[in-house]
Amino acid sequence: MVDIHCHILPGVDDGAQTSEDAINMANAALKQGISTIIATPHHLNSHEVNPKQAIQEQLESLNRLFQQEKIDIKIVPGQEVRIHGELLKGIETGDIQPLGDSNYILVEFPSSNVPHYTEKLFFDLQLKGYTPIIAHPERNQELIQRPEILYRLVKNGALSQITAASAVGKFGKKIKKFTMELLSSNLTHFLASDAHNTTNRGFMLVEAYSTIQSQLGTDMVYLLKENAELLLEGKHAICDIPSRIKQKKFLGLF
């Protein structure tokens, strides 16, 4: 199993802080059946920059450590890129790291809104051959209140990735419900852990897949798992035709 969004690189953001933390996370991932993790440290989030070159150096060191510790898991480079107007320039200058060897870029929105320039930026990214993947749309306040925005972005070629913890209800019943609506409306294409540690922000992929299977069936589980594998291989994800979710207001959610 492939996890495409995880904060396992030690000491670079709010994920693993030490090598020991990273080892504990890797062992927890193995117990979930995860064989490959795309490390996605924050880029341009708060004071965290984490350029591509630094990530690659950290990643090589971590993979060597896991080999020494006989931990049979592979770590692949990536970033969780905070959306900003110079994102495309960052790709061109080699500052931004796609997910693995693919042309997929994991893009994080602010938690409360979707920037007004998002559609134009995504259009420009796609013109250059890159596919934006929106990280955890189910936790974005504006997308929850105005799902039409996500529908429009996906219809125009963007993809999205939900978080395992959202699917199992760790962020509350309303976010869990919205997560399932995104899946059933073909508005999301990947499930990932967004794991930061082994305590309050762990992997939970097994639990999430079990929940999704019970509510939406085995085919949805297969699709999500296969898309993670396809991404790792640099291939096109499976994307069914999206449908609209009725606009709602979740008063008091945040």
> pTM of this prediction?
0.94
Is position 189 within any domain?
yes
Provide the residue-wise pLDDT of the chain in tens; the chain has 254 residues: 999 999 999 999 999 999 999 999 999 999 999 999 999 999 976 566 788 998 999 999 999 999 999 999 999 999 999 999 999 999 999 999 999 999 999 999 999 999 999 999 999 999 999 999 999 999 999 999 999 999 999 999 999 999 999 999 999 999 999 999 999 999 999 999 999 999 999 999 999 999 999 999 999 999 999 999 999 999 999 999 999 997 655 444 54
Is position 202 within any domain?
yes
Is position 105 within any domain?
yes
Q: What is the DSSP letter of 10?
A: T
Contact 164, 192 (CB under 8 A): yes
HSE (CB half, 13 Å, CA atoms) of 245? 26
Is position 89 within any domain?
yes
Quote the CA–CA distance of 248 and 254 in Å, as a whole number.
Answer: 14
Element (H, E) at 63: helix 52-68
SS (H, E, C) 111-167: CCCCCCCHHHHHHHHHHCCCEEEEECHHHCHHHHHCHHHHHHHHHCCCEEEEEHHHH
Structural tokens at position 241: 């035709």
Domain that holds residue 36: 2-232
Counting the structural domains of the chain, the total is 1
Is position 252 within any domain?
no
pLDDT of residue 249: 53
Which CATH number characterizes residue 112's domain? 3.20.20.140
For 42-99, how does the pLDDT look when each residue is reduced to its tens digit (9 = 90+)? 997 656 678 899 899 999 999 999 999 999 999 999 999 999 999 999 999 999 999 9
Is position 93 within any domain?
yes
Is position 148 within any domain?
yes
For 196-207, how does the pLDDT look when each residue is reduced to its tens digit (9 = 90+)? 999 999 999 999
Is position 43 within any domain?
yes
SS3 213: helix
pLDDT of residue 50: 86
